[in-house]
Amino acid sequence: MSAMKRRHLLQMLAAAPLLSAPTVLRAQENWPQRPIRLLLAYAPGGGTDNVARVLAARLQALLGQPVVVENKPGAGGNLATEAVAGAKPDGYTLLMGNQGPMTVNQSLFPNMRVDPLAALDPVALVADAPLVAVAGPGTKARNLKDLLEEARKLDGQLSYASASNGSASHLAAALMFQMAGIEAQHLPFRGAGPALNDVVAGHIPFMVTTLPSVAGLIQGELVRPLAVTGHARIAALPDVPTVAEAALPDYNASAWYGILAPKGTPEPIRAKLATAIADSLTTPDVEKRLQEEGAVPSRMGGEAFGKFMGAERTRWAKLVSDAKIVVD
């Protein structure tokens, strides 16, 4: 190669970043220009799926591009996390993350291939969804304090159901008994429905579960709501106290939902998405659906959301260790 050709090639290589920078900036400013995928770790029909779909519909209206919800269950939620973590960080692949896959699984799956807090950029916390502690005919307890006292007298023989090992249902109840200094027997099921069947039948006295899974049973007076697990009462059950009000002043637990993107997603895209999420949460249809899920809209942005997940991971890791919780 002649000296002139080498010099020309070097000049072209040196200019390439300068030539591409405006193109990259325009791509970020004009985002989105094609459909966005929103992955979640659960099958259709559950609370996370319902929240994802109503949010996706509103984001589509605000962003002007389809937002397609993709259900990718499996491996305790880790499959969806891995798929988004490995995607191109261009704003077109997002994750609806929640408590388990984002902050609990690191303690339950020691060989996880992806650390979500390191491999994903938090965009915004969408909503906080307290759970409901309910009792069936297997106990005479009319309130949470009565149930905890009954459990104390039974000295480790009182049982409680959950949707599965390591689920929000399991962890919220385990935290409750741990804070009360009471031993109880955990009986995991494959889903909230089968677990509630045994509570309604009186075979198991108690469980903590999501509002949608138990709302009909409460209305039919087949189970009694004892408390909600969040820091405030919920609109759907205004007369039901929080666990903190009823028995354990420092207690708080919930199933939350947030949007995350692959690590390295440009800040302008994350900012535009966060603004669209915040705007979505003020619309009546989104507020109504969240209320039906027992959820409360959040105003937490990316930085605060990241810190929140870090704190959640620390506290649930301690509970998993202390309670010797293992997955199936």
What pLDDT, in 10s, does the model give residues 201-251?
Answer: 999 999 999 888 888 899 999 999 999 999 989 888 999 999 999 999 999
* Cα angle value 35/38/40 (rounded, 5°): 160
β-pairing verdict for 36-40 and 67-71: parallel
Q: Are 213 and 195 in contact (CB under 8 A)?
A: no
As a whole number, the mean pLDDT across the chain is 88
Q: Is pLDDT above 80 for 21? A: no
Name the residue among 123, 93, 127 with its Cα closest to residue 268: 123
Q: Which of 133-137, 282-286, 296-300: highest mean pLDDT? A: 133-137
Per residue, the 3-state secondary structure of 159-196, as one string, reads EEEECCCCCHHHHHHHHHHHHHCCCCEEEECCCHHHHH
Please provide residue 111's backbone torsions phi and psi, each rounded to the nearest 5 degrees.
-110, 30
Q: Looking at per-residue confidence, does 67 or 112 come out higher?
A: 67
Question: According to the CATH classification, is domain 34-129+255-322 in 3.40.190.150?
Answer: yes
Closest CA to 133 of 237, 49, 47: 237
- DSSP tag of 320: H
Cite the residue boundaries of each domain of the chain with CATH code 3.40.190.150.
34-129+255-322
Q: What is the mean pLDDT of residues 24-35?
A: 78
Please choose, from the candidates 252, 297, 253, the residue with its C-alpha nearest in 3D space to the C-alpha of residue 279: 297
pLDDT bin (cut points 50, 70, 90) of residue 160 is very high
253 C-beta neighbours (distance < 10 Å), count: 24
Bond preceding residue 32 cis, omega within 30 of 0 = yes
Distance between the two ends of the chain, CA-based, in angstroms?
Answer: 65
Residue 292 C-alpha from the chain's centroid: 16
Q: C-alpha angle 209/210/211, rounded to 5°?
A: 120
> Which residues of the chain are in CATH 3.40.190.10 domains?
132-246
Q: Which residues of 310-325 are buried (b: 16+ CB within 10 A; e: fewer)?
A: eebbeebeebbeeeeb
Residues 106, 77 contacting (CB under 8 angstroms): no
Residue 129: which pLDDT band, with cuts at 50, 70 and 90? confident
Q: How far apart are CA 43 and CA 77, in angstroms?
A: 10
Name the fold adopted by 132-246.
D-Maltodextrin-Binding Protein; domain 2 (3.40.190)
pLDDT at 12: 60
